[in-house]
Amino acid sequence: MESGVLVGFEYEQEVKLRCISCGLEYEPNPRLTRCPRCGGLLDVEVKPSTELSWSLWSSRKPGVWRYRELLPAAKGSTPVSMGEGATPLVRLGRLAERIGAERVYVKHEGQNPTGSFKDRGMTVAVTLAKAAGARAVVVASTGNTAASVSAYAARAGLKSIVVVPQGKTALGKLGQSILYGADVVEIQGSFDDALSAVMKAVEEDYRLYPLNSFNPWRLEGQKTLAYEIAESLGDAPDWVIVPVGNAGNISAIWKGFRELYQHGLISRLPRMAGVQAEGAAPLARAWERGLNRPLFVDRPETIATAIRIGHPVNWPKALTAVRESRGVFVKVSDDEIMWAQIALARLEGIGVEPASAASIAGLRKLLSKEVISPDEIVVAVLTGHSLKDPEAMLRAPTRRILARNPEDAVSKVLGLVEIELGKDPTPSTRQLEEVCTNT
């Protein structure tokens, strides 16, 4: 692998780079995204030169760069930023009551600039790619990474190329990449096929900078999700629930909490729960059997396209995160995901795409299995916005009534007033089964 031409790349803080498989240490060159010796995952460590405190950070504008002492920022560079992070932590009311939990918060990552948490990683990694003189950025994606890369590359003045599975990318995400001006390669294959294509292309031409989540620089930005949760709550919660696809986010969030703990900024660590969809559950199925490696899935299938991944690249980091935190992996069905998506919308007014609803479906399951108890403080990460996947929204069962003319519309509206209020607004199992078998 060509590691580029950079020597002595300078950061604002001391930065270390190490392979988690073979243990070799490297110069912290942002061009290094996998171990040149063994191909293993790399881990970045940022050692702040000043003492950290919440008051230092809270005096700054909220968002990813508020925590810059723990981020790998190139010396003298201006962040490629548009206000990512600083997403609301919302306490659930009616839905929490419905599933039997007292203190559930959701971190609404759909409120990031391109509508998913991916923006946290992209502001850091694209800033580095630009400083390191990359010509083009490239990414394999189920959709959200592509949307985020396209936007941040546009802002940085870099070319972007995205590789997405043909016919399996949610419409909103594909539309974003096109609008932001990425070149779009639609592959007749899965996300995993797209990712291996990107890895090969990057080895052929070092001017291409890869932004998938094996890129450890990107995960540094995603750590800030943990910082914000801890800052909002004043400490770590009991549980953090995260939908798992490539398993980068759960790894990054765990890393963030560990760092806060090491720097004495929180008094305890949360337990991490990773949620996968039944048809794409290499980690959850391995976890049930007590295995040390994933049971890879060659043809992953789920309505939650953002986690429709059978070979999660970050599995070693994610397994460590869940083990170290005394957490769990759990799988949920498409029906359960859909119920959670609709329940969040209709009981709380919060719109998310199906993959994000997996964290609520997982919470509901873990409560019923008594893994999580009703009085524990839970944060569920809602990874992406409902507008990402208009087709999924349109599948939610509701009354849609045709009115032939204005008078007819008046009578239809008046007829609807009669329908009782307070009836359960979430769909029945039968309704969900109908929807899921028709899609």
Ligand X SMILES: *Cc1c(COP(=O)(O)O)cnc(C)c1O
Cα–Cα distances (Å) from 13 to 9, 41, 75, 191, in that order, read: 12, 22, 8, 35
Q: Using CB under 5 A, which of 1, 13, 21, 258 touches Zn ion?
A: 21
216 near Zn ion, rule: CB under 5 A: no
Half-sphere exposure of 39 toward its Cβ, with a 13 Å CA cutoff?
4
Tokens representing 352 are 């998310």
DSSP code string of 304-351: -GGG--SS-TTHHHHHHHHHHTT-EEEEE-HHHHHHHHHHIIIII---
CB 149 within 8 A of CB 122: yes
Binding partner selected for residue 353 from ligand X, Zn ion, none, CB under the kind-specific 5 to 8 Å limit = ligand X
Binning the chain into helix, strand and coil, the percentages to the nearest 5 are 40, 15, 40
Question: How many chain residues interact with ligand X (CB under 6 A)?
Answer: 18
Binding partner selected for residue 22 from Zn ion, ligand X, none, CB under the kind-specific 5 to 8 Å limit = Zn ion
Binding partner selected for residue 38 from Zn ion, ligand X, none, CB under the kind-specific 5 to 8 Å limit = Zn ion
310 near Zn ion, rule: CB under 5 A: no
Tokens representing 180 are 């932001």
Binding partner selected for residue 225 from Zn ion, ligand X, none, CB under the kind-specific 5 to 8 Å limit = none
276 near ligand X, rule: CB under 6 A: no
β-pair type (25-26, 14-19) = antiparallel
Strand arrangement, sheet containing 239-243: 89-91, 103-108, 377-382, 239-243, 271-277, 328-332
Sign of CA dihedral 195, 17, 134, 151: positive
Using the contact rule CB under 5 A, the part of the chain among 10-18, 36-44, 98-106, 169-177 near Zn ion is 36-44
Cα–Cα distances (Å) from 115 to 54, 176, 339, 349, in that order, read: 27, 10, 21, 17
Q: Using CB under 6 A, which of 87, 114, 144, 426 touches ligand X?
A: 144
Residue nearest to ligand X (CB): 384
Binding partner selected for residue 376 from ligand X, Zn ion, none, CB under the kind-specific 5 to 8 Å limit = none
Cα first-last separation, the chain: 43
4 versus 48: smaller Cβ distance to Zn ion: 4
Q: Using CB under 6 A, which of 123, 169, 177, 249 touches ligand X?
A: 249
The contact pattern for ligand X, residues 317-356, with x = CB under 6 A and - = no contact, is ------------------------------------x-xx
Q: Hey, how many other C-beta atoms are within 10 angstroms of the C-beta on 408?
A: 12
Question: How many chain residues interact with Zn ion (CB under 5 A)?
Answer: 7
272 near ligand X, rule: CB under 6 A: no
Q: From the CB of 274, what's the least distance to ligand X, in Å?
A: 8
Give buried/exposed letters for 319-356 (b at 16+ CB in 10 A, else e): bebbeebebbbbbbbbbbbbbbbbbbbbbbebbbbbbb
224 versus 249: smaller Cβ distance to ligand X: 249
81 near ligand X, rule: CB under 6 A: no
**Location of structure tokens 């045709």:** 402
38 near Zn ion, rule: CB under 5 A: yes
146 versus 366: smaller Cβ distance to ligand X: 146
Q: Using CB under 6 A, which of 383, 389, 427, 432 touches ligand X?
A: 383
232 near Zn ion, rule: CB under 5 A: no
214 versus 239: smaller Cβ distance to ligand X: 214
Q: From the CB of 4, what's the least distance to ligand X, in Å?
A: 25
3 near Zn ion, rule: CB under 5 A: no
Q: Using CB under 6 A, which of 40, 85, 243, 300 touches ligand X?
A: 243
248 near ligand X, rule: CB under 6 A: yes
Q: Using CB under 5 A, which of 10, 14, 22, 88 touches Zn ion?
A: 22
Q: Using CB under 6 A, which of 241, 247, 340, 435 touches ligand X?
A: 247
Please report, as residue ranges, which positions from 114 to 133 form the binding site for ligand X (by CB under 6 A). Answer: 116, 118
**Location of structure tokens 């170290």:** 324
DSSP code string of 164-231: EETT-S-HHHHHHHHHHT-EEEEESS-HHHHHHHHHHHHHH-TTEEE-STT-HHHHHHHTHHHHHHHH
Binding partner selected for residue 341 from Zn ion, ligand X, none, CB under the kind-specific 5 to 8 Å limit = none
Query: Distance (Å, rounded) from C-alpha 143 to C-alpha 141?
Result: 5
245 near ligand X, rule: CB under 6 A: yes
Contacting residues toward ligand X, per CB under 6 A: 116, 118, 144, 213, 243-249, 306-307, 353, 355-356, 383-384
